Amino acid sequence: MALSTTLSAQSRLLCAERKPNPTTAISPTTSLLLPQVVTLCKNNKGGFCGKGIGVRRKARNNVVKASLKWEKGFANVEVFTKEHLAVSLAYDVAQLSNKYTRDKGSFTVVLSGGSLIKYLRKLVEAPYLETIDWSKWHVFWVEERVVAKDDLDSNYKVARDGFLSKVAIPGVQIYGIADALPADGAADVWETTLRRLVKNKVIDSSESGFPKFDLMLLGMGPDGEVASLFPGHPLLNEDKKWVSHLNDAPKPPPERITYTLPVINSASNIAMVVTGAGKANAVASALEDDKTHKLPVQLVSPRKGQLKWYLDKGAASKLFKE
């Protein structure tokens, strides 16, 4: 099941710096990704008007389904207000959760650090809090800082405080860092755990033998880093290990453990959630430069899965063409 977005008639999908007259379709000169002219605007009847190549619109019971595809191969790049990004992300995660728990009895989800957790806030509200089968979730992290779990730098702590403590996921199905170990030992324990869960068929296995998670919820840093994979770092070339460690991260804290690119690219679904104007340059470089692959985020390309970008207006601001 590919990641998809369903927007209520009250939602706004923002694809232009200038807000047009709501009764008029947006001009192609204000499209998000030229020459793929795909724009949506709210009309005065409470619905949406769209114009351009690649717009798929399905209206039913006042609901519009929209997807934006870029001619160079990036599918499903969508831009929202911060609030509607959270709404859309919650809907998509819930749909995937329902699918995988129905089809195979479990749902394996990988979280990241940064601001991602606050965009999962709608999942802990009605209707999802009551309708998602949280007992079937297995939660992992794509990267972690080698600090105690109650440290302010801990991705585990951020996720626990903002999300995990509010839903009924069994504690034994939340796989945090072995925080009493140094970076290399913690990475070994994480990989051993993954191998056990693949053997026990909790996590699926890809054709190449790497773990195949149902959903990875990733963020991107201002330099185009994903997980703890930084520009120019040797770990970008790691193709054997599932989990690796580094002691020289260019941002504090320096000691971290991270999934490697082959593991990331084996996922069935990847949601790339990027917000804030401080990341606009990296977003533009990642989406407009498809040849040099200088940024780690450009190396995220699921082999057999789906990738969808969730951007807010600030993160997408360098993509707007006047």
Calculate mean pLDDT across residues 174-195.
Answer: 97
| Per-residue pLDDT, 2 | 54
pLDDT above 90 coverage of the chain, percent: 71
Higher pLDDT, 4 or 101: 101
Average pLDDT over residues 52-80: 44
274 has a pLDDT exceeding 80: yes
**pLDDT value at residue 294:** 84
Domains of the chain: 79-319 (3.40.50.1360)
- For strand 215-218 and strand 107-111, is the pairing parallel, antiparallel, or unpaired? parallel
Neighbours of 180 (CB within 10 A): 9
Rounded CA separation 278/40 (Å): 25
Q: Is the model more confident about 2 or about 138?
A: 138
For range 189-218, the mean pLDDT: 97
Model pTM? 0.79
Residue 308 CB coordination number (10 Å)? 23
In sequence order, the β-bridge partners of residue 241 are none
Rounded average pLDDT over 242-252? 96
pLDDT confidence band for 75 (50 / 70 / 90): low
Using alpha carbons, list the distances in angstroms from residue 168 to 68, 112, 129, 175, 249: 34, 20, 9, 15, 34
* Pairing mode of beta strands 107-111, 137-141: parallel
Residue 85 has pLDDT above 70, yes or no: yes
